[in-house]
Structure 1
Amino acid sequence: MTEQTTGRDYAPPAALSEHVGKHPGEPNVMEPELLADPFAGYGALRERGPVLRGRYLDDTPVWLVTRFEEVRSVLRDQRFVNSVTSVPGYGGDDPRARLLDTLGFPEHMRPYMLGSILDTDPPDHTRLRRLVSRAFTARRMLDLRPRVEQIADELLDGLPEQAEDGVVDLVERYAYPLPVTVICELVGIPEAVRPRWREWSGDLVSMRPDRIGTAVPAMVEHIHELIAERRSSPADDLVSALVQAHDEGGRLSDNEMVTLVLTLVLAGHETTANLIANGAEALLAHPAQLRLLRDDPGLWPRAVHELMRWCGPVHATQLRYATEDVELGGVRISKGEAVQPMLVGANFDPRHYAEPDRLDVTRQPQGRAEDHVGFGHGMHYCLGATLARQEGEVALAKLFARHPDLSPGVPPGELRREPVPGFWRLASLPLRLSGS
C-alpha cells in the first residue's frame, strides 16, 4: 500500500456494483477495494501482469493495462481508437450508449455525450482539436497567468471570513472556484451561472441517475442559450469563436458546438480542482517536501508534475478499442476488444520509477519534460494540461505562502473521497488557517 489516504464510506451506484464478484479472477473496476484504495489495488494487479482480463463499469469484458511502458504504448498507438464505431467492419451496438442508459442519461441527450472530442477519432478529432487548440497555446496561457494569480489572491482574501472556528473547506472555497472561474472566463460562461456549473459537475461525477438525468439537459439548454446570445452579440471568448467557425466556415455542427463547450467547461475545472485539493493534502502530510518548496519556490513546476503523478485526480483513461489484432505485453488483443489504460498503475510502476511510492517534489525533470502519464499521452493528451499545471502551481504556491501555518482541520482518517472509478476526488478538505 502507498502512503495515500484511502477512501471511506463509499456507496457505489447499485446498477454498477451489482456485477461485482460474478467473474472470479477478472477484477471489476467497481470492486470496493479498488475504489477505496486504487493505489494498492491497481498496484497489486500491475504485479500480476502488464495486461489483465477484467470487467468495466457495466460488467463488459475489458483488458486492463497496468504498467508504464504498456500504458504509453496504447495511448500513442493509433491502432487503438476511442470509439468502437471506428473499428473497421464493426456493426454492433455502441457499448457507450448502454452505459449512458445505466447512468440515467436521457436518450435525446446521447448525441451530446457520444460526440465529444474525448470520444472521437481522426479525422473528426483532428478537426475539433484544431478548432479549440488556439485557445490553449503556451503563449495564451502565459498571458493568462496574471489573471489566474489575481483570482487566487481574491479567493485567498475571502477565506478567513468563510472559516468556521478557524477551519475552511478548501475544496468548496478555493480548489473549485479558482479553475471554474478561469475556464468560464476563457470559454465565455457568465459569472451568474458559474455556481450552477459547479453543481452540474458534481451531479455528473456522482454517477447517480436521478442527478444526471436532470443536470445534463440543464447544461445543454444553457449552452444553447449562450450560443444564441453570442451569435447576436459576439465577445472575446471561445464560444464566440466556435459560433463563427460554425456560421462562416461550416467546420462545426450544432451538436459539436454544444458538446465542445460542455466538455471544455467540465474537463477544464474538474481535474484541476482535484489536483489542487489532492496536492494540498499531500504536501501537508509530507512537511519535508513542503519545506523544500518554501526554501526554493523554483521547484513548484516540478512539484506540480510530481503531484500529478503521485496524487493526480485521473486514474484511468476512457476505453480504447483495437482496430486489428494487437500483441501487447505478451497478450493478444483481438480486433474490436476494449482496453483501459490504468494511469494509476503506470504512475507507480517500479520498473520505471525509483521508489515510486515516495512523494519527491524534485523527481521530475526540469524544463518541459514530463515523466508521467497523469495528463495522458499521444494524440489525446490533455488539451488543457498547460493551463492545469499553471493553475495548480499558482493555487498551491499562493496558498502555502499566504498561510504558512496551514494545517489539517480533521484527522486524515476522517477525510472522505467520492467513490468514482478512475478518479481520486476529495469530497471536502477541511483546513485550519494560519492566524485563525
Structure 2
Amino acid sequence: MPTPAADATVAVPPAREAAPAGLAAHMGRHPGEPNVMDPELLADPAAGYGRLREQAPIVRGRMPDDSPVWLVTRFDDVRELLRDARFVNSPMSVPGHTGPDPRTAPAEPTGLPVGLHRYLLGSLLDSDPPAHTRLRRLVSRAFSARRVEALRPRVERITAELIAALPGHATEGVVDLVEHFAYPLPITVICELVGIPEADRALWREWSADLLGTAAGRPAAATPVLIDHVRELVRRRRGAPADDLLSELLRPDGEAGDGDPLDDDEAVTMVLMLVLAGHETTAHLIGNGTAALLAHPDQLAALRADRGRWPGAVEELMRWCGPVQMTRLRYATEDLTFRDTRIRRGEAVRLVLVAANFDPRRHAGPERLDLLRESAGKGEQHVGFGHGIHYCLGAALARQEGEVALDALLGRYPALSLAVPADALEHVPLPDGRRLVRLPVRLGPPATS
C-alpha cells in the first residue's frame, strides 16, 4: 500500500534480533508445520514458501508464538480467498466469538498500555464491513487516480531535492539509500498529504523502529507519545481546519457527503494507519527495487533504453521483490472446505503473497526478474497490493512514487552501483515484509545533461 514518517536526518532503524524471545522453544515442536520465523523462510522467502506451495495448496504452519495458522500459497487461491467474504480480518467479527480480542495478547510484553490497543487494532486494515465500508469510503477520495496524479509535481520536487543532497551524506564515497532517500521521500509525501507538521515527523520514524522492535520483545517507547501528538493534531484541526486530508476527514456531518465523519479515536487510528502504511511499504519498494536493478544490469539497460517502460517495470518489481510478503491474519467465519482442506470457524489463515507472485502456474520462469515480461492474463499480474475489499488504498500513490524515485535516481547517477555484493545486503528478519536494513551504494559522477 502507500506507506512511516521520518526526517532525512534520523538514523535508520537498527536491525532486529533474528526472532522474538522464546521462539527457540517452539521451533521443531510441530514437525511438518513450519514456523513463519523459520530461518530458511526468512533468508529466502520466495524459495522457502515456493517449496511449501508445491507441497500442497494449503499447509499447516505456526506463528511466532506457536499458534497454528493455515498458509495459502498459490496465485489463484490467494486471489480467491482475498475476496471471499467467509474470511474476516478481525477475530471479533467471527460469529460466536466471546471474550477479549486475542490479538492483544502478543502486545502485552511490549509495554504498550492496554488502553492504546484500540488504536493499533481498530484501523481500516483490521476492520470488516460495515465499519470497513464506511471508513474506506471516507478516505478513498484522497487516493483517487486524479488526486494522485495531481501530487506528481510535488513528488518530483521532493525526489529532486533528496537526490541533490545525496553526495553530502556520503562517507568514504558510500551513501545509505534507505536512510537518505527511500525513507524520506514517501514519509514526506504522506505527511504533507495527511497534514503532519514537519516538526513532528522525526517521531514517526522512531515509531516505525518501535513497531519493528516490539516483535523482538522490546518495549514500545514512542507509541504513547505519538498517539498524544496525533490527538493534539486532531484537536487543532477541529478548531482550525487546513488544506489537508485530516481536515477533510473531520468535516462536520453532511459536508463531505460520505457518511458520518470520524470521531477522535477513529481519526487518531486513521492517521496512524495512513502514515505508517503510506510510507513504510513504499520506502521498501524503492529500496528493494533499486537493489534489484543494480544487481541486474541487463534489465536496467533495457529501462534506460526506453524510459516509457517504467510503469510496467514497477509492476514487475512489485511482483519480484515487493515489500509485503503475506497478508494479515484472516479468520474463517464458518466451517468450510477449501482445496480439500477443512478449515474450522475461527481458525486463522495467512495468504502468502510472495509465494503467489512466484507461482509458475501464473508466470513462466517466475524466478527471473523480467521488466519486459508479457502479461500472463487479464487483471493485475501480482498480488503485491492485495486484492478484494482490502486492496491497497494507496496503490496508485505507491506506484507513482516508485516510478518517479527510481527513474530520477538512476537517471541522475548513471554509474550508481552497490557498495557491497548483492548477496551481502542485510534484511530485517520479519516474516511479513522484505525490508533492507540499509542499502550502501556508490553514486559515481552525476549525469551532465
Shorter-chain TM-score: what band?
A: over 0.9
Instruction: Name the stretch that deviates more: 197-206 or 154-163.
Output: 197-206
Unaligned runs of 5+ in 1: 1-7
Do residues 32 (structure 1) and 39 (structure 2) align?
yes
Distance 1:170 1:66, change over 3 A: same
Counterpart CA distance in 2 for 1:102 and 1:285 is 40
Distance in 2 of aligned mates of 1:240 and 1:247: 14
Partner of 1:382, secondary structure, is coil
The aligned residue for residue 209 of structure 2 is 202
Change (3 A) 1:142 1:408: same
1:36 is displaced (CA, Å) by: 1.7
Secondary structure at the counterpart of residue 220 of structure 2: helix
Q: Distance in 2 between matches of 1:76 and 1:56?
A: 23
Structure 1 pair 10/100, CA: closer, same or farther in 2 (3 Å)? closer
User: How far apart are residue 18 of structure 1 and its match?
Assistant: 3.5
SS of 1:64's equivalent?
Answer: strand
CA contact 1:204–1:215 (8 Å) conserved in 2: no
Aligned partners of 2:434 and 2:395: how far apart in 1?
Answer: 17
Question: Which residue matches 2:435?
Answer: 425
Matches within 5 A, 1:173-322: 173-208=180-215, 212-245=219-252, 250-322=260-332
Cα distance between partner residues in 1 of 2:216 and 2:32: 29
Alignment partner, residue 132 of structure 1: 139
Moved more, 358-367 or 45-54: 358-367
1: CA distance, partners of 2:403 / 2:149: 13
Residue aligning to 1:154: 161
Mean CA deviation greater in 97-106 or 283-292: 97-106
Partner amino acid, structure 1, of 2:207: W
Partner of 1:4: none
Preserved contact between residue 302 and residue 361 of structure 1 (Cα < 8 Å): yes
Q: Distance in 1 between matches of 2:23 and 2:264?
A: 32
In structure 2, relative to structure 1, the CA distance for the partners of 1:401 and 1:292 (3 Å cut) is same
Quote the Cα distance in structure 2 between the aligned partners of 1:364 and 1:94.
45
Counterpart AA for 2:104: A
Take 1:17 and 1:49, find their aligned partners in 2: how far apart are those partners? 26
Once the two structures are TM-superposed, the CA of residue 365 in structure 1 deviates from its matched residue by 3.9
Cα distance in 2 between the residues matched to 1:162 and 1:179: 19
Contact map agreement 1:415 1:428 (CA 8 A) in 2: yes
Is 1:350 aligned with 2:360? yes
The separation in 1 between residues aligned to 2:349 and 2:215, in whole angstroms, is: 25
Aligned counterpart for 1:95 among listed residues 91, 102, 105:
102
C-alpha offsets along residues 389-422 of structure 1, whole Å, 9 cap, x if unaligned? 0000000000100000000112223321111111
1 or 2, which has the higher helix percentage? 1
Q: 1:60 aligns with which of 67, 89, 92?
A: 67
Residues 413, 443 of structure 2: 8 Å contact kept: yes
- Structure 1 residue 97, shift from structure 2 partner: 1.3
Where does residue 334 of structure 1 map in the other structure? Answer: 344
Of the three residues 103, 120, 127, the one matched with 1:120 is 127
1:414 paired residue among 414, 420, 424:
424
* 1:153-194 deviations in Å (ceiling 9; x for gaps): 010010011111221000000000000000000000111111
Question: Which residue matches 2:6?
Answer: none
8 A Cα contact 1:102 1:209, kept in partner: no
Aligned-pair distance for 1:30?
Answer: 1.4
Q: For 1:266 and 1:83, locate their aligned partners in 2 and report how far apart those are by CA, in whole Å.
A: 19
Distance 1:171 1:22 in 2: 37
Instruction: Report how many aligned residue pairs link the two structures.
Output: 429
SS in 2 for 1:332: strand
**How far off is 1:245 after superposition?**
4.8
- 2:16 and 2:212 in contact (8 A); partners too: no
Partner deviation per Cα, 1:89-113 (whole Å, 9 max, x = no partner)? 2224422111222444321111111
CA contact (8 A) 2:59 2:72 kept: yes
Cα distance change on mapping 1:9 and 1:122 into 2, 3 Å? closer
Give the RMSD, CA atoms, in angstroms: 2.0
Uncovered stretches (5+) of structure 2, i.e. residues with no partner: 1-14
Whether the aligned pair in 2 keeps the contact of 1:180 and 1:269 (CA below 8 Å) is yes
Question: Which digits, 9 at most, give the CA deviation of each residue in 1:104-136, with x for residues without a partner?
Answer: 432111111111111100000000001100110
Q: TM-score under structure 2 normalisation?
A: 0.91
Is it true that 1:374 corresponds to 2:399 in the alignment?
A: no
SS of 2:221's partner is: helix
Alpha-carbon offset, residue 325 of structure 1: 2.0
